[in-house]
Structure 1
Amino acid sequence: MTGMTYRNRPRRRAARPAAALAMTALTSLIALTSLISTTGCTAMQDDGLDYTPRKMSVKDAKDLVRRQSSVILDASGLRYETSNGSPDVSPCEKVEHGYRVKHFWKAYGPSREVLSAALQRLHEELPKRGWKVYRFEKANSKAQQMQLDVEDMKLHHTVTVEEDFVSRDPAASKWEKAGRDGLFITVDSPCYVDPQYRTGDQ
Structure 2
Amino acid sequence: MSKLIYTFLASLDGYIADEAGGFDWAYPGEEVIDVINGIEREVGTYLYGRTMYEMMSVWETDPSFAALSPGNAEFARIWQGADKVVFSRTLESVSTKRTRIERSFDPDLVRGIKAEAGQDLGISGADVAASAWRANLIDECQVFVAPMLVGGGKRMFPDGVRQPLELLDERRFANGMVFLRYAVRH
Task: Give the structure-2-normalised TM-score.
Answer: 0.26
Query: Which has the higher Rg, Structure 1 or Structure 2?
Result: 1
RCO higher in 1 or 2 (8 Å CA, sep ≥ 6)?
A: 2
Task: Give the structure-1-normalised TM-score.
Answer: 0.24
